[in-house]
Amino acid sequence: MTLVLVTGGCGFVGSHVVDELVAGGADVRVLDLLHPLSHERAPEYLNPAAEYVFGDIRDPELVAQCVDGVESVSHQAAMVGLGSDFGDVVDYVGHNDLGTATLLRELARRPAPARLVLASSMVVYGEGRYRCEEHGLVRPEPRKQERLEAGAFEPTCSLCSRSLAPEAVPEDARIDPRNVYAATKAQQEQLCAAFARETGAAVTALRYHNVYGPRMPRDTPYAGVASIFRSALEGGRAPQVFEDGRQLRDFVHVRDVAAANVLALGAPATGAFNVASGEPHSVGDLASDLAAAIGGAAPETTGDYRLGDVRHVFASTERAAAELGFRAKVSFAEGVRELATAPLR
């Protein structure tokens, strides 16, 4: 049977990838640090059919042992989210970029290249895709703090200052990372592309949009917005919705993301692919629907903002459907109902 290495295979997405691979008959080896920001202990949900190695992906000797004999790699290990502040920059670069470089170097030393699927992110796009009524497709500049302070959250055309209409962003959009996490994910993609060119390895980057579902980490600066809302409601608090709540995202269920990874590991297609549901929803919608499903306090729209956030980003899913055969199956309504009671980490 095929031996697959899953880095970060104890985490939110990685553990679901492990389950999908095991269910499909693969032999699975996991390398995971069990970072204290994500894990207090080894989770109870770990798949007993997989082999687990606990350690740091930045350790070349350990990585060399882990890649021995593998035919493909699902690289999920990373620090995620915006973090606490810019002081996190060294940890993000270390875990995400140095860790990826260490993995790629050990894979390059093997006699035959292994198939590699990278967990990337929609954050590499920065702002999504926008159209101006007069100037067509335009790239808005980063939002200025004075406009955010005034509650003017929508980006405007840099040529005429008109309002812009957001559109689904395709994979060929120019990347424009606008925070530390986004910069490290873009660098991961570029390192993997260089690895592919120099070794002939097949590499696919899956740009996850807003992933949610069972096993999400609880309320931390590194958790996703769905988990933060769920944790607030569990604690009897109203979810705090930043800006005006109308910012659009594509919320994609973690089981769909795991399925996309398995498809990518077995497909000949390479390059970048959006992994998304294809149905944008506002952050306010997520908070309201989750509160209704739990029977908790109504969300509070705060007007607060984070400079690293972008306004609208949601995906075109055409390429993933055509080349990977991937289409999300879990609807937003179904996924939110499940999240209301699903176990978090």
Question: Per residue in 4-24, pLDDT tens?
Answer: 999 999 999 999 999 999 999
pLDDT of residue 221: 58
Given a cut of 60, is residue 67 above it in pLDDT? yes
d(CA 262, CA 23) in angstroms, rounded, equals 11
| Contact in structure between 251 and 332 (CB atoms under 8 Å) | yes
Q: In whole numbers, what is the pLDDT of the chain averaged over residues? A: 94
pLDDT of residue 313: 95
Summarised one tens digit per residue, pLDDT across range 147-163 is: 999 999 999 998 999 99
pLDDT more than 70, % of the chain? 97
d(CA 287, CA 227) in angstroms, rounded, equals 10
Please compute the mean of the pLDDT values over residues 308-334 and round it to a whole number.
96
Please compute the mean of the pLDDT values over residues 237-262 and round it to a whole number.
97
Tokens of 74: 């699902």
d(CA 52, CA 65) in angstroms, rounded, equals 12
d(CA 74, CA 119) in angstroms, rounded, equals 8
Residue found under tokens 């007007």: 303
pLDDT of residue 84: 65
pLDDT of residue 180: 93
Is pTM, for the whole model, over 0.85? yes
Query: Position 279: which residue type?
Result: E
